[in-house]
């Protein structure tokens, strides 16, 4: 009787929770949609001063000032808009999409601190909302590398709709030039080290690599349909897929989101990458880290568990219950709090997994995903469970309830007016940081869509094979010469912004040869057509003694041949 009573109470609780969540989704959906559109120029009610098609990150101007347009945020927001339009959910959005294409086309040509359209400017993360370059002080202004990939992905979805409903010439004339610039940038720069998703540390980023891979795959299909050369995209897509595998932490059972910065690598980056590269046709493919893949599920558990004890609002929850999540457990920005969009991302990954399991009529438990499934059924073992089995039914119900739990947390800390800020306080749950964050609204809408079973279009992840050997991107030889007088025991070293220059690491900096003293030299292979920053440093008996003075040295590597740089110590 106890078991029956417990099961009945559990079922009753789940039904009540589901009813509450359903009510929240119904109420919040139109609010989130309106909040998103309010932040788009020129007519958005909270986007005064923004040019047509420009997305403001938030109307907040103090603590923090987010009244700027980030390529990353804008692209993610317009991917939602384009998806709703192309699937027929909202046919009124065409004008917005056309404005976006025009705005981003203009933005690509704006010279900025990262360069021009041909010298690295496409990697600049943020701009003023009047489409001018942001030139103010911002220590993290470094190529993010994910903006062009996300922008091309959003526009390719629109281009595919144009191909189906209009003509190839329309695509070639309007979105293709914008898309091609971004795809060419991705193909040439994917193996550079940029900054992490949050613009804080110089690091290879799982999210960036994953969305770069998707953009190149979609670029191949679109270029081929338009009769354009896709050979460079094909070569680099395979290389990117190969590199994507390197983020997997076998011992920890999770994806290491960032390769630098001294963090654990447990980061919302990985869940966000999984949902933004979801391809239902790929099933539970692990090489592209699909939402229901064993690696993505294992990583999700490790990420979620890392927040169970660091936020007061998560206190008293069961070890297998939903909790509020933030960017990463070491976060200190604004005090380090849960974010609406990261908590939504967990729910969305779980809903995406459910879409695939229900469609294929089975789920697989591997040794990698076993800890994830044991949360809900401790007796489960490695194996494949068909939809007719009690194990499948138990797991589907449990994962659905787990996902709804994250949505319920999202609901609990959303204020009565439905406005979504960036974060909510880890102790009180009060919304804080930037109010009306456009990305938060977009994340809510995609979470709701996944919960309803909406399947995104396939982007070509199915059937991919990881190359047996990873090959770096194309490179050219660059000789660095610097005139520097030294003392006995003192040597000159080099480090800089790409892997070949050891990613600004003074410990791993490269020693130069004094064979032609006082000129010190080294020749290295660096990525082609890349904007590269570097500095020389001095070490005495192997110990760092001085960096060259600011600013960083910078050059653009040639597309072929070689280059000689002649510098003097500053």
| Binding annotation | 138
Cis before 42 (ω within 30): yes
As a whole number of angstroms, the distance between CA 526 and CA 530 comes to 8
Q: Dump the DSSP string for 389-458.
A: SHHHHHHHHHHHHHHHHHHHHHHHTS-TT----SEE-TTT--EESSSS-HHHHHHHHHHHHHHTTPPPPP
Binding residues for substrate: 138
Q: State yes or no: is 199 an active-site residue.
A: yes
Alpha-carbon gap, residue 164 to 8, rounded angstroms: 51
CA angle 416, 419, 424 (to 5 degrees): 90
Residues 535/486, Cβ–Cβ less than 8 Å:
no
List the one residue out of 155, 21, 148, 80 whose CA is nearest residue 443.
80
Structure tokens at 261: 């910065």
Residue 490 sits at φ, ψ, to 5 deg, of -105, 135
Active site residue 196: yes
Residue closest to 535 by CA, chosen among 553, 517, 522, 521 = 553
Give the residue carrying structure tokens 């009565």. Answer: 416
Question: Which residue among 199, 200, 330, 490 is the active-site one?
Answer: 199
CA distance 58 to 77: 12
Q: Are strands 423-424 and 431-432 parallel, antiparallel or unpaired?
A: antiparallel
Rounded to the nearest 5 percent, the helix, strand and coil shares of the chain are 45, 15, 40
- The residue annotated as part of the active site, out of 196, 279, 285, 548, is 196
- State the DSSP string of 82-105: HHHHHTTS-TT-HHHHHHHHHHHH
- Catalytic residue set: 196, 199
């Amino acid at each position: 009787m106890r078991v029956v009573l417990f099961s009945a109470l559990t079922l009753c609780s789940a039904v009540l929770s589901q009813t509450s969540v359903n009510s929240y989704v119904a109420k919040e959906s139109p609010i989130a949609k309106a909040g998103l559109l309010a932040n788009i120029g020129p007519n958005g009610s909270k986007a005064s001063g923004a040019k047509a098609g420009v997305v403001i990150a938030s109307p907040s101007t103090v603590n923090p000032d987010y009244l700027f347009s980030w390529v990353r945020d804008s692209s993610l927001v317009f991917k939602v808009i384009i998806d709703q339009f192309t699937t027929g959910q909202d046919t009124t959005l065409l004008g917005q999409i056309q404005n976006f294409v025009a705005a981003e086309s203009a933005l690509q040509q704006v010279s900025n601190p990262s360069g021009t359209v041909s010298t690295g400017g496409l990697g600049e993360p943020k701009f003023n909302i009047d489409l001018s370059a942001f030139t103010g002080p911002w220590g993290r202004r470094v190529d993010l590398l994910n903006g062009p990939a996300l922008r091309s992905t959003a526009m390719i979805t629109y281009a595919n709709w144009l191909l189906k409903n209009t003509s190839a010439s329309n695509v070639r004339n309007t979105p293709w030039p914008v898309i091609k610039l971004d795809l060419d940038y991705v193909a040439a720069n994917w193996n550079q080290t940029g900054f992490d998703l949050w613009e804080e540390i110089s690091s290879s980023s799982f999210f960036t690599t994953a969305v770069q891979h998707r953009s190149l795959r979609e670029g191949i299909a679109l270029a081929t349909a338009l009769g354009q050369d896709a050979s460079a995209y094909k070569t680099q897509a395979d290389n990117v897929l190969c590199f994507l595998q390197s983020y997997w932490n076998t011992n920890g059972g999770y994806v290491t989101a960032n390769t630098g910065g001294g963090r654990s690598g447990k980061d919302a980056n990985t869940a966000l990458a999984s949902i933004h590269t979801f391809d239902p046709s790929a099933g539970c493919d692990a090489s592209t880290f699909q939402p229901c893949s064993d690696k993505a599920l294992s990583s999700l558990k490790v990420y979620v568990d890392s927040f169970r004890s660091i936020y007061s609002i998560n206190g008293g929850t069961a070890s297998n219950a939903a909790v509020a999540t933030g960017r990463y457990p070491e976060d200190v920005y604004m005090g380090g709090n849960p974010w609406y969009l990261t908590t939504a991302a967990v729910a969305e990954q779980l809903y995406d997994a459910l879409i695939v399991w229900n469609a294929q009529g089975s789920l697989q438990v591997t040794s990698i995903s076993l800890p994830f499934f044991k949360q809900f059924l401790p007796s489960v073992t490695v194996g494949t469970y068909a939809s007719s089995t009690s194990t499948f039914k138990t797991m589907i119900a449990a994962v659905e309830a787990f996902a709804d739990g994250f949505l319920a947390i999202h609901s609990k800390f959303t204020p009565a007016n439905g406005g979504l800020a960036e974060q909510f306080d880890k102790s009180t749950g009060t919304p804080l940081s930037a109010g009306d964050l456009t990305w938060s609204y977009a994340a809510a809408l995609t979470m709701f869509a996944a919960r309803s079973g909406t399947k995104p279009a396939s982007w070509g992840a199915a059937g991919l094979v990881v190359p047996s050997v990873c090959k770096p991107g194309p490179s050219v030889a660059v000789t660095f010469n610097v005139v520097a007088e030294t003392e006995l025991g003192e040597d000159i070293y080099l480090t800089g912004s790409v892997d070949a220059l050891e990613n600004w690491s003074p410990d791993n900096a490269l020693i130069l040869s004094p064979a032609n003293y006082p000129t010190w030299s080294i020749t290295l292979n660096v990525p082609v057509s890349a904007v590269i920053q570097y500095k020389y440093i001095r070490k005495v008996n192997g110990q760092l003694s001085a960096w060259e003075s600011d600013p960083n040295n910078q050059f653009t590597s040639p597309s072929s041949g070689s280059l000689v740089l002649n510098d003097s110590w500053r």
